[in-house]
Amino acid sequence: MLLEDVLKELRKAGIRLTPQRQEVLQALFDGLQGECQPQSAEEILQVVRKRYPGVSPDTVYRTLGTFKKLGLVREVNFRDGCRRFELVLQGGHHHHLVCLRCGRSRELPFCPADCLVRVQEYCPDFEIEDHAFTVFGYCPKCREESRDVFRETVEV
C-alpha cells in the first residue's frame, strides 16, 4: 500500500487532510522503509519541521493520537522509556527485533500465532484485540564493536 492510498482512505473516512498531517504520515511512512524504525514524537516533529518549520509539538501528538484511534498508527516500546510510533499498513502487522545497545530495530516476519490460540483457550472470555512480540538483544554490528573494545582493553 502506498502513501497515496492511505490518504485516500483517510479522506473517505472523513478525516481532514491538512499539510501537517500529511507530513506526519510521510515521516511515519519513511520510518517504515528500509530498516523499520519506529519514531519518537520528537523525531517526527523534526522531520515535519523541515517542510513546515512552525509546526507545534501539540500538532504532532494530536495527529498521532488521531491516527492511533483510527488504527493507522501503533505505539511501540523498546524498554528504553521512549514512546515510538509506527504506521500500520494493511496486513502490515509485524514484530520487532531490537538491539539493546544501538536501539535500532528490524522487522520480524514471524508471529506467535499458536501462542495466541493458547491464550484464547486459557482466557475464553477475554476479547483479544492485538498482540506484541519483541525480541531484545545485540545486533551483529554492536557485538563486533564490543568485541573491539574488549580487545583494546586487553591489549593495553
Partner DNA sequence: TCCTAGATAGGAATTATTCCTAGTTCCGTT
Partner DNA sequence: AACGGAACTAGGAATAATTCCTATCTAGGA
Q: How far is CA 136 from the centre of its chain?
A: 15
Site for DNA in 60-89 (CB under 7 A): 61-63, 65-66, 81-83
For cell 520480524, the residue is: 108
- Number of residues assigned to the chain: 156
Distance CA 47, CA 140 (A): 29
Question: Binding mask 4-33 vs DNA (x if CB under 7 A, - otherwise)?
Answer: -------x---xxxxxxx------------
Stretch that binds its own copies, among 1-9, 11-19, 44-52, 133-141 (CB under 8 A): 133-141
Q: Which sign, positive or negative, has the C-alpha torsion 58, 63, 68, 70?
A: positive
Do residues 108 and 135 make contact, with C-beta atoms less than 8 angstroms apart?
yes
Do residues 85 and 77 make contact, with C-beta atoms less than 8 angstroms apart?
no
Question: Binding mask 46-85 vs its own copies (x if CB under 8 A, - otherwise)?
Answer: ----------------------------xxxx-x-x-x--
| Strand pairing class (95-99; 105-108) | antiparallel
For cell 510521510, the residue is: 26
Question: Binding mask 78-117 vs its own copies (x if CB under 8 A, - otherwise)?
Answer: -x-x-x-------------x-xx-----x-xxxxx-xxx-
Interface contacts to its own copies, rule CB under 8 A: 74-77, 79, 81, 83, 97, 99-100, 106, 108-112, 114-116, 118-119, 122-123, 125-140, 143
Interface contacts to DNA, rule CB under 7 A: 11, 15-21, 40-42, 52, 54-59, 61-63, 65-66, 81-83
